[in-house]
A = this chain, B = another copy of it.
Amino acid sequence: MESLKLLDGEAGDLQAVMLDMGRRARKAARKLALAMPEQKNRALTAAAAQLRARTPELIAANALDMANARAKDLTSAALDRLSLDAARIASMAQSLDDIAGLPDPVGRVLEVFERPNGLRIERVATPLGVIGVIFESRPNVTADAGGLCLKAGNAAILRAGSESFHSSRLIHDCLVAGLREAGLPEDSIALVPTRDRAAVGAMLGGLDGAIDVIVPRGGKSLVARVQAEARVPVFAHLEGLVHVYIDAEADLAKAQKIVLNAKLRRTGICGAAETMLVDRAGERFLAPLVAALLDAGCEVRGDAATQAVDARVKPVSEVDWRTEYLDAIIAVKLIDGVAGAIEHIETYGSHHTDCIVTENAATAERFLREVDSAIVIHNASTQFADGGEFGFGAEIGIATGRMHARGPVGVAQLTSFKYLVHGAGQTRP
C-alpha cells in the first residue's frame, strides 16, 4: 500500500497514484465478482462492528474536520451535514448491517427463455465492475457507498469531500478492516488519499479504463462538473425539480394532505416538491391549498391568480420554475389541465419525480404515460421517491438519466448481466 500513501502537502505524482489505485481496484473487482454472498456480508458486518468499536476515535477525527470547516466559515447546514455524533455513527453501522441483510443481487436470474432448438438461455445479474463515487460533505456516504458497491460485487473508488477528510479516512479504515476480516481484497474499497481536486479530474478521465461508471453525490455544481467532464458513463443525479399537479377532478382533502407532505415533511431532500401546478378548471382548489401551505409556514410564490387568493403570496418569476429550493418555499401556477401540466413539467422539470392528484383514472394514466421522469406518481406524496420506500434497501442516489439505472439506485441497479446458454450439442444450421 506504500504507493497510495499520498497525503496532503506531500510530494507525489498524483496521476500515477490514481492510476495505480485504478489497477488495484480492477484486480479486486475480479475477485469480488466471484465472492460468495456470506463473505461479502461478513465484511459488511465486521465493518459495522469496527465503526461501533471506534466511535470515540471517529468523533475525535470528526472534531478535526469540524474545526477546519468552522475556520472556513461553512454554513450551519453544511456543518450539520459534516458532523458525526454517537447516534449518527450507530446509524451508519446499522446501514451496513442492513445492506448485509439484503438479498444478494449477483447471480439473480433475471429472465429465462427456451429456444425452439432446445437452447435454454438465462440472463443473470453480474457486478458492474469498478464504481467511482464522488461526494461532498456527509462522511456517512463513505460507508453507505462503499457498502452498497461491495454488496453488488463491485470495487469502489471513493472520493470524499475535502471537508470530511479525517472522518472519511477513519470510516474507510473500518471498511478495510471488515474486508480483511472477511478475506476479501483490501483494494475492494479505495479512498482517494488526498484533498487535491485534481484527483476528481483523474477519476472523471476513467483511470485508463479502470472505472466503469461514476456516481456523483452532491450539489448541482458537483454533478454539473462530473457530467461535463466525465469520459466514462455517469449515473446522473440531477436536482429534484419536483412538481405536484392538482387536477380539476382531484379530491381536495387528498390533494391538501399530499401537497403538504410533498413540500414540507422534509424540505431538503430531492423528492420534496418545489412547484404546485393547479388546473384552471379546478381554480377553486387554489385558495384552500395555498392557505394550508402558508398556515404551515411555507412561503408561497405565485402567479397573478395565486396572488389574488391570499395577500401573503409573493410574486413568482421565471427563475422560480427552474429553482430547487430545498426549503419551505413553493412556486404555484394555474395551468390549463393535464396537457398544460405536462408541458410545464417537460419545459422546466429535471426528470426526477412528478405527481398528479386526480380521481380521474384516464387523466392519471395520461400523466403517468406522458411525463418522462424517473418516477411518476398518482395520488401519493413525492417524498416516497426513495430507495428505502421502494423496498430497495439503501440507495446510492436517484438517477435522472435514462442509461442503465433510473430512479432509486440500490444494489440491484449497481449490477449488469450476462447470458448463460445451456446446450446439448446444438450447432447453428
Contacts and interface: CB of A to CB of B under 8 A. Distances in A.
A380 B426 contact: yes
Given A231-B231, A265-B428, A119 B419 contact: no
A129 to B, nearest CB: 6
Contact of A402 (B129, B346, B377, B419): B129
B418 A373 contact: yes
A3 to B, nearest CB: 24
A196 interface: no
A168 interface: no
Interface stretch (A79-87, A301-309, A323-331, A382-390): A382-390
Contact of A376 (B257, B258, B420, B427): B420
A185 interface: no
A258 B428 CA distance: 9
Interface stretch (A7-15, A39-47, A364-372): A364-372
A254 interface: yes
A402 B405 CA distance: 12
A212 B403 contact: yes
Nearest to A118: B380
A340 to B, nearest CB: 16
A128 B406 CA distance: 11
B418 A375 contact: yes
A270 B421 CA distance: 17
A418 B407 CA distance: 7
B404 A419 contact: no
B423 A376 contact: no
B420 A379 contact: no
Contact of A128 (B121, B402, B420): B402
A184 interface: no
A251 interface: yes
A383 B265 contact: no
The bracket for how many chain A residues form the interface is 35 or more
Number of copies: 2
A416 interface: yes
A180 interface: no
Interface string A244-267: 000000010010011011100100
Interface string A343-357: 000100000000000
A72 interface: no
Contact of A403 (B233, B370, B380, B389): B233
Given A113-B391, A212-B403, A370-B34, A421 B380 contact: yes
B115 A391 contact: yes
Contacts of A254: 425
A142 B135 CA distance: 42
Given A128-B403, A403-B128, A423 B115 contact: no
A126 interface: yes
A423 B379 CA distance: 5
A381 interface: yes
Contacts of A370: 34
B418 A380 contact: no
Contacts of A407: 418-419
A192 interface: no
Interface string A99-135: 0000000010000010100010100001011000000
Interface of A: 30, 33-34, 107, 113, 115, 119, 121, 126, 128-129, 212-213, 231, 233, 251, 254, 257-258, 260-262, 265, 346, 368-370, 372-381, 383-384, 389-391, 402-404, 406-407, 416-428
5 contacts: A265-B428, A373-B418, A376-B421, A380-B425, A407-B418
Given A119-B389, A384-B423, 18 more contacts: A115-B389, A119-B380, A128-B403, A129-B402, A212-B403, A233-B403, A251-B425, A257-B425, A265-B428, A376-B419, A381-B428, A383-B427, A389-B428, A402-B416, A403-B404, A403-B416, A406-B417, A406-B419
